Amino acid sequence: MKKMLFSRSFISESGLIRQYFLKESVFLICENGFIKKRILYMKAIIPVAGAGAKLRPHTYTQPKALIPIAGKTILSYIVDQLHDGGINEFIFIIGYLGEKIQDYVNFAFPNLKCHFVQQNERCGTGHAIELAKNLIGKDEVFVVLGDTICEYDVKEMINSPFNMLGVKKVEDPRHFGVAEIDSNDFIMHVVEKPAIPKSNMALVGLYKIRETEFMYGCLNQLFVENIKTYGEYSFTDALDFMIKRGARFKAFKVKNWFDCGKKETLLESNATLLKKSGGNVKVNHEYKSTIIIPPVSIAPNCTINDSIIGPHVAIGANTNITQSIVRDSIIGSYTNLFDVVLDNSLIGSDASVKGLTRSLNIGDNTEIEFG
């Protein structure tokens, strides 16, 4: 099959340049015959407008993307990975508690070019990505859902000549977007949360799109024909339209996919990430009569006395813990724990807990005293 080739000419300071477009890339051919490949500019879209209902009460006061895990927020894992891969411009689709996302990004990533787009009605991922259309233009795009933490080679995915979708084999794919893949790892079909899946390869929330104008055309078809899945405009449906109309997508199998959707899986992911990183205990903490069982992550300015901490514990900044045992838990910032034994617990920021032995799920600004 012949590749389609077309061109246009323009004048630059170095003379006449003819620009040739192939399906996979763009070439600039100057008068002297020099050929140079132009790498298209890539921007990132991160939808973070969801309310995070499964992580309540924490998401009543904190966006899901800012929930801490293994010493970092979910959002910081995403942005750090993409920035390390070479992306410097980000578009955040915000909604619920969006001002907290904006304040956090501006403080944590002051050197990045960031845009914030308000999604007033949560009508699905397709609708969220459509809102970024004017900021994307013709540039390539890397979409990462705001609750997605994966281990993968970002540069390999970005530099591929194909559109790419991140996938991972799961036991029960009915709760995810699902990709049907051929023997060469090309994707034949994608479907959102099928009742009877024909594949166990789940879409993990990583999408690299080279044919951006084509993508937005397929998204527009959803709106024109009012095509919804489970009451929302699904990005998966738009991707399937692209595939049916000839776009080539390759599956990119991620090494690990960390589920941050509810308390139990969030704590499991916290433990796994702490094991991989080895923890992050700062040397300037006060640990009077305290045993630390790694891996543990403790943020700056914490005071811990007469306690046993770990394994698999992440503690936020400026937290005080006294006469307590804490394991397999996430503790927020500016929190006070006294005379407690906590296991598999998720404690928010600005909380105070005294005198109990149990598993807890406590949101921000909470005070509990037992005995």
Q: Tell me what pLDDT residue 87 has.
A: 92
Q: What is the mean pLDDT of residues 205-211?
A: 93
Q: Tell me what pLDDT residue 40 has.
A: 53
Q: Encode pLDDT of 343-371 as tens digits.
A: 888 888 888 888 876 554 544 444 444 44
User: Quick check: pTM over 0.75?
Assistant: yes
Mean pLDDT of the chain: 81
Say if residue 244's pLDDT is above 80.
yes
Q: What is the mean pLDDT of residues 144-165?
A: 90
Q: Tell me what pLDDT residue 70 has.
A: 87
* Nearest of 327, 332, 287, 333 to residue 309 by alpha carbon: 327
pLDDT classification of 25: cutoffs 50, 70, 90:
very low
Q: Which of 25-39, 54-68, 308-322 has the highest mean pLDDT?
A: 308-322
Q: Tell me what pLDDT residue 12 has.
A: 36
Q: Tell me what pLDDT residue 35 has.
A: 45
For the chain, percent of residues with pLDDT exceeding 70: 80
Q: What is the mean pLDDT of residues 58-71?
A: 72
pLDDT classification of 112: cutoffs 50, 70, 90:
very high
Q: Tell me what pLDDT residue 96 has.
A: 78
d(CA 223, CA 238): 10
Q: What is the mean pLDDT of residues 153-177?
A: 91
Say if residue 41's pLDDT is above 50.
yes
pLDDT classification of 282: cutoffs 50, 70, 90:
low
Q: Tell me what pLDDT residue 114 has.
A: 95
pLDDT classification of 80: cutoffs 50, 70, 90:
very high
Q: Tell me what pLDDT residue 175 has.
A: 86
Q: Tell me what pLDDT residue 71 has.
A: 84
Domains for the chain: give ranges and CATH numbers.
6-38 (no CATH), 42-261 (3.90.550.10), 279-369 (2.160.10.10)
Q: Tell me what pLDDT residue 285 has.
A: 55
Q: Tell me what pLDDT residue 323 has.
A: 92
Q: Encode pLDDT of 2-17 as tens digits.
A: 334 333 333 333 343 3
Report which of residues 54 and 91 the model is more confident about: 91
d(CA 111, CA 91): 14
Q: Tell me what pLDDT residue 317 has.
A: 87
